[in-house]
Chains A and B, each alone.
Chain A
Amino acid sequence: MADKTQASAVDAGLSATHGSQTPAAGGRTPSAAGSEPARRKAKPNYRQAIEAGIFIAPALALFAFFVVWPMIKAVQFSLYRWKGFGPLVDFVGLDNYIRVLQNDVFIGSLTHNLIIIVASIAIQLPLGLLIALLLNRKMWGRAALRTIVFVPYVLAEVIVGVIWFQMLQPNYGAIAVVLDAVGIQGPPQGFLGTVELALPTLMVVLTWKFLGFAIILFLAGLQGVPEELHEAAQIDGASWWQTQVKITIPLIGPTLRTWAFLSMVGSLQLFDMVWILTKGGPANATTTMVTFLINEGTKRSNYGIASAASVVLFIIALVFALVYQRFVLRRDNPDIEPQRKKVTR
């Protein structure tokens, strides 16, 4: 949840960036232009600036101290060989980066993150969309259903992880026992303990946890599709499926693209669930970039290596965000812009 909410903000931020940048190019933001009565322009607003400073100071200080400063430190640590004690003296340049990028475990973790990104979208997008379209129909118990769908998303990843960990245990776990009863021999090491099965099993749990998020988001998007369009399509003799495919899905395109973005950012930062379910094992079959850097940092005290890995993660996330923003989300901005102006005025 933490990751996802954080991620949802990323997107809000992306669109907000547009909101504030685009008007700035053309002059001023509409609200700024409007909120400046002529009489105030006469005297320079030092007082207002000082007041602004006082109001912003606590947030800015907190942000600078606990977000920006540690980021800068991460870059610094990444250039040293450092075990976490004593002064930072052993400057090694880019050596840590080279070591990280040549480390099979890290490359494996990067691969796992990419697999999880692709699999999340390939599984959750069609499934979530299908369910959202079904739940968007008038039906008995719809409100309750929507609440239920939200439950796994509300639970902490740790709690979900622990429940599934117990169910997936080889001998006494519920899934093994049920399979046994049906006559299927489960893997002797359990689903999480078998190298080939660990990652797919993790994907199943992730789907269970996060599908509700996709559904809720898609349903929110569906709220914006005008009913009249469906009626018009029906009058023209379109079937329910045709209406969905030709009208509804294209109209909620922006929501789908936003969700895909959030899902990608969340997948890149995946940690909690993996740590609870497998700790990255067996034989590093489920390491992610974050489990790698936590392992290096806390278990082995290789702070230099861990920091280099975190900087690599940051660069990947940034490139992802910028590329996605540039080529995919940008399409939606003409839609967002006029709406925003209406709101601010």
Chain B
Amino acid sequence: MSAVTTTPRPNPDKAVTPKRRRGKRDGHAAGPFVYFMAILLVCVTLGPVMFAVLGGFRTNAQLAESPAGLPDPWVLDNYIRVITSENFWIYTMNSTIVAVLTTAMVVIFGMMAAYPLARFKFKYREQIFMIFVAGLLFPATVAVIPLFILITKDLGLGNSWMGLALPQAAFALPMTIVILRPFLQAIPNELEEAANLDGTGRIGFFWRIVLPLSGPGMVTTGVLAFVGSWNAYLLPLLLLQGDMKTLPLGVADFSSQYSSDQAGVFAFTTLSMIPALIFFLAMQNKIVNGLQGAVKG
């Protein structure tokens, strides 16, 4: 976030004399009302999350007695139970593998497809691009039943990492190509001509110049694909059972199986949101930049 807020600033800052600017800014600086609203917002936003985190440190009796107070005494049992349970780690591993597979396929195939669609000239180029663009209009949920049949019955890939990663990648591809194409189009033609003069072909140009230059675009699309895969529920729900389940399925299962063990549910839920939270907050700028790109078209 911080990067986003600071990036557009430097130029106007220098254009206007600092003194005048500060005077104007102070007129608009946040007053007590704004801070009050901000605190309210923080409480409402973090309240349920903190409740779950703290809930894991209590016993069920404590939870029922005083849901608003701090745990007293702090109980580690719930968290230890989850951390030492085999299932939690199996689910985490499944989620990670599926998300990595999905992301790898999306970025590699998306990059490969976006390059000719952006820079080559050939018949049906726009038509092929339009096929992918049209893919954006399909809600993934529409195809979910035939997809389930295709993967489990026709391909025999039900309950496997690839069986989930392949369709997830397929559904993430249109967005990836739509984001990457303008990125690759923006690489100046002069660079390509210079590479040509130096005897580099189109493939060499792709490896030596396009790939390094489109790093940010690949990161954005990669993060979006990873996010989508990590949080996905519907497709894993249909395709995975038993030891192949991903974390969201594990959380849902645990909460319906042990719904009366609230403290246990909170511990499980908290632990499963930690890796995602850390990863996504670290990558937040990329997500926001990707969204910004989408907004500005």
Contacts and interface: CB of A to CB of B under 8 A. Distances in A.
Given A51-B116, A67-B135, A172-B64, A134 B38 contact: yes
Interface residues of A, number: 131
A36 B174 contact: no
B179 A174 contact: no
A33 B29 CA distance: 49
A255 interface: yes
A159 to B, nearest CB: 5
Interface residue SS majority, chain B: helix
A32 B123 CA distance: 12
B52 A306 contact: no
Contact of A151 (B46, B51, B110, B139): B46
A15 B297 CA distance: 5
A6 B60 CA distance: 39
B297 A265 contact: no
A65 interface: yes
Interface stretch (A103-111, A116-124, A142-150, A192-200): A142-150
A334 B262 CA distance: 54
A294 B144 contact: yes
B126 to A, nearest CB: 6
Interface of A: 1-2, 5-6, 8-20, 24, 31-32, 34-37, 45, 48-49, 51-52, 55-56, 58-60, 62-63, 65-71, 73-74, 77, 84, 131, 134-135, 137-143, 145-152, 154-167, 169, 172, 174, 177-178, 208, 212, 216-217, 219-221, 223-224, 226-228, 230-231, 234, 240, 254-255, 258-259, 265, 268-269, 271-272, 275-276, 290, 293-294, 297-298, 303, 306-307, 310-311, 313-314, 317-318, 321, 336, 339-340, 343-344
Interface of B: 1-2, 4-5, 8, 12, 16, 24-25, 27-30, 34-35, 37-38, 41-42, 44-46, 48-49, 51-52, 55, 60, 63-64, 67-68, 105, 108-110, 112-113, 115-123, 125-126, 128-150, 166-167, 169-175, 177-179, 181-182, 185-186, 189, 192-193, 202-203, 224, 227-234, 237-238, 247-249, 251-252, 255, 259-260, 262, 265-266, 269, 272-273, 276-277, 280-281, 284, 288, 290-297
Contacts of B172: 6
B233 A156 contact: yes
Contact of A84 (B117, B130, B149, B284): B149
B272 A313 contact: no
19 contacts: A2-B140, A12-B175, A14-B136, A15-B297, A55-B112, A56-B128, A63-B174, A67-B167, A73-B143, A139-B35, A143-B1, A151-B281, A166-B266, A172-B60, A228-B16, A275-B233, A293-B144, A314-B142, A340-B297
A9 B136 contact: yes
Interface residue SS majority, chain A: helix
A215 to B, nearest CB: 9
B137 A318 contact: yes
B120 A1 contact: no
Nearest to A315: B142
A328 B280 CA distance: 32
Contacts of A65: 170
A17 B174 CA distance: 12
Given A143-B5, A148-B46, A314-B139, A59 B112 contact: yes
Contact of B141 (A12, A35, A290): A290
Contacts of B292: 220, 223
Contacts of B140: 2, 6, 269
Given A12-B175, A62-B105, A317-B137, A49 B123 contact: yes
Most buried by A among B4, B181, B249: B4
A313 B139 contact: yes
A140 B31 CA distance: 11
B284 to A, nearest CB: 6
A298 B238 contact: yes
A247 to B, nearest CB: 13
Given A5-B228, A35-B121, A20 B129 contact: yes
A151 B288 contact: no
Given A16-B178, A138-B30, A163-B51, 8 more contacts: A11-B297, A56-B113, A68-B131, A71-B143, A143-B5, A155-B276, A269-B141, A297-B145
B291 A217 contact: yes
A2 B228 contact: yes
Most buried by A among B28, B105, B137: B137
Contacts of B138: 67, 71, 314
A343 B182 CA distance: 8
B150 A69 contact: yes
A76 to B, nearest CB: 8
Contacts of B252: 158, 161-162, 276
A66 B167 contact: yes
Contacts of B192: 35
Contacts of A226: 12
A73 B149 CA distance: 10
Contacts of B284: 147, 150, 154
Contacts of B49: 151-152, 155, 163
